[in-house]
């Protein structure tokens, strides 16, 4: 396969997954600037390793695995350096086009509350929840991306959902939902 | 099955990840056990909160553009490369053209049914896949976002010379999410967009040149599945990254 073919195949298979890559990176890095850097780096790495991509491989799982590894490598480096990871106000992330009708306002408030609850989850649970609920991956795909057996995926999702339900019911009690 | 086992299985049951035997056993336990049923209900409540597509973070436009321009060769350079490649063969181009025209005339003359499906099918598959990919890359997948077939169908009226069939298949797991105009096979076509779980299905439609035998043909390109059939005077092309099985089911539902 020549260079042009590889490039065309990369474009067809990998570029449509930009949003998924960004979403995962954003949830793992917990701020948009780092997420952007990670997505760029992930795409460069994906392009470099694309020669090893075989027809029939699940493209989404393949790319998200690279994104995840790139993020964790960076996070581990930050930890060693003791760098504070900037956390953004989730509020700024949703476009504010006021005045909004009350129905949309309440939807916006719900989204903020749910996002805040997901952000509070332990990393293992958070990534399982994001991959399942926001990315719609199967257990097998999650197991490929996160490099753990399907049984572990199952228990992480289960415990993650328990944690999330608890966090959200606390918010409900405080009238935030 | 006891409650502890049911607890372990409730998430894969909820996510349709259990094999049939276990799913039946969980179902039986749920029928008899209020506590476990409540657990399932709390999962459903959570799912409805997590189902909002806006929960996902959207990639910033600047980054999207940066990646597209980095990994997609700009149109100009493609053109240059094309020209470089063919400039040496300048003499052969008129010859090839002449041969092509002769061949075309020959085919028109010989082709009694006026059918060219076999000739254009392979490149059209690529074009349809490219159309799908383009719709996923562009910022607007939909010109008319609506889950209501009675909104989507009239929207096409007046924009196209034909009225494409639009039906909602949400009951079968294929949710109608809207429609879009697209350009394929040298004409304006209707793109009716469906969603299966998180996967997008583009259904491209245009008036058929001829009546085919109606039996669907499946293709696979770069991880995308394509299925084509000809029915009710339309050429139908469904393309998606859902499994071939799901896409075949989709085709079956469209036929009903």
A137-173 pLDDT, tens digit each: 999 999 999 999 999 999 999 999 999 999 988 777 6
Q: Is A66 on the interface with B (CB under 8 A)?
A: no
H-helix or E-strand spanning residue B24: helix B20-32
Distance from C-alpha of B185 to C-alpha of B206, rounded to nearest angstrom:
9
Q: What is the pLDDT of residue A99?
A: 45
* pLDDT of B113 above 50: no
**Cβ within 8 Å of B, A 75-114:** 93-94, 107, 110-111, 114
Token pair 């562009």: residue: B138
Q: What is the pLDDT of residue B121?
A: 53
Q: What are phi and psi of B191, to 5 degrees?
A: -115, 110
pLDDT-above-90 percentage for chain B: 39
Q: Is A168 on the interface with B (CB under 8 A)?
A: yes
Band of the pLDDT at A90, cuts 50, 70, 90? very low
Q: What is the pLDDT of residue A124?
A: 95
* pLDDT of B90 above 70: no
* pLDDT of B78 above 60: no
Q: What is the pLDDT of residue B115?
A: 45
Of A82 and B97, the structure prediction assigns the larger pLDDT to B97
Band of the pLDDT at A105, cuts 50, 70, 90? low
Across residues B192-199, what is the average pLDDT? 90
* pLDDT of A91 above 50: no
What helix, strand, coil percent values describe chain B, rounded to 5?
Answer: 50, 20, 25
Is B73's CB within 8 Å of A7's CB?
yes
Using a CB-CB distance cutoff of 8 angstroms, which residues of chain A are in contact with residue B67?
A: 15, 18, 39-40, 43
Q: What is the pLDDT of residue A9?
A: 84
Identify the weakest region by mean pLDDT among B8-22, B27-41, B103-117. B103-117
- Beta-carbon neighbour count of residue A16 at 10 Å? 20
Distance from C-alpha of B199 to C-alpha of B195, rounded to nearest angstrom:
6
Pick from A16, A139, A161: CB nearest B133: A16
Is B56's CB within 8 Å of A165's CB?
no
Domains of chain A as residue ranges with CATH:
1-88 (1.10.1740.10), 92-177 (1.10.10.10)
pLDDT averaged over every residue in chain A: 84
* pLDDT of B76 above 70: no
Is A158's CB within 8 Å of B56's CB?
no
pLDDT averaged over every residue in chain B: 82
Across residues A39-47, what is the average pLDDT? 95
User: Minimal Cα–Cα distance from B36 to chain A, Å?
Assistant: 14
Band of the pLDDT at B93, cuts 50, 70, 90? low
Which residue from A7, A62, A114 is spatially nearest to B53, judged by alpha carbons? A114
pTM: 0.64
User: Minimal Cα–Cα distance from A168 to chain B, Å?
Assistant: 9
Across residues B55-76, what is the average pLDDT? 83
Distance from C-alpha of B92 to C-alpha of B89, rounded to nearest angstrom:
5
Is A110's CB within 8 Å of B49's CB?
yes
Q: Which of B50, B53, B220 to mutate to test the interface with A (most CBs of A within 10 A)?
A: B50
Q: What is the pLDDT of residue B54?
A: 87
């Amino acid at each position: 396969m020549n260079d042009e073919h590889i490039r065309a195949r990369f474009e067809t298979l990998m570029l449509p997954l930009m949003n998924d890559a960004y979403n995962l990176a954003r949830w793992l890095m917990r701020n948009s600037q780092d997420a952007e850097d990670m997505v760029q780096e992930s795409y460069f790495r994906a392009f470099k390793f694309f020669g090893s991509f075989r027809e029939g491989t699940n493209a989404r799982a393949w790319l998200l695995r690279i994104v995840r590894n790139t993020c964790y490598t960076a996070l581990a480096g930050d930890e060693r350096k003791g760098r504070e990871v900037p956390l953004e106000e989730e509020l700024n992330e949703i476009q504010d086009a006021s005045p909004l009708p009350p129905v949309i306002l309440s939807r916006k408030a719900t989204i903020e509350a749910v996002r805040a609850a997901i952000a509070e989850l332990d990393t293992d649970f958070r990534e399982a929840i994001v991959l399942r609920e926001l990315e719609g991956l199967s257990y097998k795909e999650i197991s490929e991306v996160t490099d753990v057996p399907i049984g572990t995926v199952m228990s992480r999702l289960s415990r993650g959902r328990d944690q999330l339900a608890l966090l959200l019911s606390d918010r409900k009690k405080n009238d935030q939902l | 099955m006891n409650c502890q086992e049911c607890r372990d299985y409730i998430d894969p049951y909820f996510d349709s990840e259990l094999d049939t035997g276990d799913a039946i056993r969980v179902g039986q336990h749920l029928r008899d056990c209020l506590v476990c049923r409540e657990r399932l209900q709390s999962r459903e409540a959570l799912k409805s909160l997590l189902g909002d597509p806006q929960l996902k973070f959207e990639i910033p436009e600047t980054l999207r553009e940066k990646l597209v321009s980095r990994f997609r060769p700009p149109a100009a350079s493609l053109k240059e490369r094309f020209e470089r490649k063919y400039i040496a063969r300048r003499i052969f181009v008129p010859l090839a053209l002449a041969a092509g025209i002769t061949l075309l005339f020959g085919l028109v003359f010989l082709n009694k049914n006026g059918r060219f499906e076999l000739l254009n099918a392979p490149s059209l598959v690529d074009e349809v896949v490219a159309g799908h990919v383009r719709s996923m890359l562009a910022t607007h997948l939909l010109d008319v976002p609506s889950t209501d077939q009675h909104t989507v169908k009239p929207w096409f009226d007046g924009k196209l010379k034909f009225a494409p069939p639009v039906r909602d298949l949400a009951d079968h797991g294929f949710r109608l999410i809207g429609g879009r105009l697209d350009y394929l096979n040298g004409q304006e076509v209707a793109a009716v967009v469906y969603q299966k779980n998180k996967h997008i299905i583009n259904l491209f439609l245009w008036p058929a040149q001829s009546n085919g035998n109606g039996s669907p043909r499946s293709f696979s390109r770069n991880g995308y599945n394509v299925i084509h059939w000809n029915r009710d005077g339309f050429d139908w092309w469904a393309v998606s990254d859902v499994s071939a099985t799901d896409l075949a089911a989709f085709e079956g539902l469209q036929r009903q």
